[in-house]
Structure 1
């Protein structure tokens, strides 16, 4: 008989490299799924790990496998410290996304480091992880995975948009949930603001001080990805080849780059939102704190977005990967064909038990 209550730790590391998001959540299944976040925090990456993760695409597969071993051990230490700090006991599972090293679904390839089986041994608890691989094996994009959480936990909104390393959107058309990556966000903004010595552009003040460059904006908006139908997803490799290369040719001041990129993001997001009249929009992710970006999205789409409480803004992805893990343990669908383009809906992810016993 299936349980009604689950106590899990959701773990997420995104492409913006803000750090490792951890959340202790209880999920309860009655008529619908309910949740409560009891503790949450983001653990910033040490400088050495930040540099290593920033350069993942420059490594060979063999080098990535070695990094994977080290990262899995590092991740276990971070999770253990979270468990100790918050005195957590009787955890049903740690549900972890890992950190994306390669994402080329068109080649049948996706690789998240930190999903190795010995993570369960190090933590001495059940681990549910590696959620993307099976979907790619089934012909899907392996992304985005968060929309199942939007469907089960936030269905009152017409659109759920996350402003993380990339902007992605989840919505319902007719009877189907669809979702896709819209455009890069913090993966670009943070790269250029770091050249000024800052980790991020506080409230978008630097971007707001810059002058928009129409030619750069035109070239960014003309990228082929934006004309492709969904399902579709983005990765660091694409950003390096298609976005950074375009921006760097212009040799603009940083504030002009930021201003132009913000306008580009706002245009791409507004074009998605305005497909529905008077939509309700839930906006989450670190980009929500960029008030200049939000003001440009609202101006171009003529709407007021809903900003939830901080724990949802910052930890929605960790929350939903916790839910993905629970659904996987129940052998229930956590990956939607309508979202990823896979051959069918399926229950994705690997379940590891301590003492190297893989049960699924």
Structure 2
């Protein structure tokens, strides 16, 4: 944290994020400055460290692990994150005020008050040598929120020019101002299913959505996916991998159609649900020129973006920022939530 007599405080932070798609650990070196109640951010450096097969398998298996295995992995994963952060800051000559770490979600069942991210803050701090702010979701759950998504405070203060902020990560989520409040919730599955299907063809992901584009929509499967009861439940609401496995991955496995057709159908399903969420968000508002900021790995899926525009009847402008913001917006926002906590300000809008 730096400040001169004539300039505002500059907060220096590291943001760490691991999403449900298990691509790897996103790391950002960021600065944040507040001037006249306006926040300005800069991403100085950012990268994604892919998970080894060992770490990917270990994190995937934790939902059925013993208490001892879960506890040990929580510590070891915190150490791992700490080493990544230490190496990254040293490589870029960056001395953060703190590290803000999301950890990796193992359980997310907010109706049962069950929400757990591994990545021990103590182990992370010891391995990195920097103060650590973590366990962001627990307070939101304790206050009666869903614990996810947690980005609305950051969306509100860092991206206020956009009507909607859409994250196309493992799960698609959205946030927007409505009736003087910031509403945020999970819409539907996204990259968890798309990457899972692409892997069946030997690809880490469907680049540009070209495999999906080559397929055909399977109407019975589309109807099954759209019939999940979650979609008629009121917001705020959130999804976990457990829900995805039951209501998305299982119907996909039972459909008996080609992977190409599965990918195409899932893209239509995701686009339809997103369009419904945006249209619902516009009801009762006087917004004339609505914008939808799209970030997360799914924003690189041109086929999916085209379908979202199609189902929105081209009435909302879809904004694709630069690749750095697309890839690292969540890590950026968790760094910012750390800043708010550092300042002893509210950093979750349940």
Q: Counterpart in 1 of 2:186? A: 181
User: How many Å apart are 1:278 and its aligned residue?
Assistant: 4.4
CA contact (8 A) 1:11 1:97 kept: yes
Q: Counterpart in 2 of 1:86? A: 92
| Structure 1 counterpart of 2:53, from 47, 65, 78 | 47
Q: Counterpart in 2 of 1:77? A: 83
Unpaired runs of 5+ in structure 1? Answer: 338-360
| 1:157-198, Cα deviation, whole Å (9 max, x unpaired) | 110001000110000112111010000100111011101111
User: How many Å apart are 1:261 and its aligned residue?
Assistant: 0.4
Q: Counterpart in 1 of 2:6? A: none
| Structure 1 counterpart of 2:336, from 296, 319, 323 | 323
Q: Counterpart in 1 of 2:234? A: 229
Unpaired runs of 5+ in structure 2? Answer: 4-8, 283-287
Aligned residue pairs: how many? 336
Q: Counterpart in 1 of 2:285? A: none
The verdict on how the C-alpha distance between 1:138 and 1:62 changes in structure 2, with shifts beyond 3 A counting, is: farther
CA contact (8 A) 2:86 2:129 kept: no
CA contact (8 A) 1:180 1:231 kept: yes
CA distance in 1, matches of 2:56, 2:13: 27
Q: Counterpart in 1 of 2:247? A: 242
CA distance in 2, matches of 1:232, 1:274: 17
CA contact (8 A) 2:80 2:124 kept: no
After superposition, residues 254-269 of structure 1 pair within 5 angstroms as: 254-269=259-274
CA contact (8 A) 1:119 1:127 kept: yes
Superposed CA RMSD in Å reads: 1.5
After superposition, residues 147-166 of structure 1 pair within 5 angstroms as: 147-166=152-171
Q: Secondary structure at the match of 1:261?
A: helix
Q: Counterpart in 1 of 2:304? A: 293
Which segment is superposed worse, 271-280 or 254-263?
271-280
- TM-score, with normalisation over the residues of structure 1? 0.90
User: How many Å apart are 1:132 and its aligned residue?
Assistant: 0.6
Q: Secondary structure at the match of 2:318?
A: coil
| 1:210-260, Cα deviation, whole Å (9 max, x unpaired) | 121100000100001101001101111111122111111112211111010
CA contact (8 A) 1:179 1:231 kept: yes
| Structure 2 counterpart of 1:12, from 13, 17, 22 | 17
| 1:70-110, Cα deviation, whole Å (9 max, x unpaired) | 21111112112211221212x10011101101111111111
User: How many Å apart are 1:122 and its aligned residue?
Assistant: 1.5
CA contact (8 A) 1:96 1:115 kept: no
CA distance in 2, matches of 1:188, 1:52: 20
CA contact (8 A) 1:28 1:35 kept: yes
After superposition, residues 83-122 of structure 1 pair within 5 angstroms as: 83-89=89-95, 91-122=96-127
CA contact (8 A) 1:180 1:233 kept: yes
| 1:116-161, Cα deviation, whole Å (9 max, x unpaired) | 3222122111111110112212222111110101100111111000
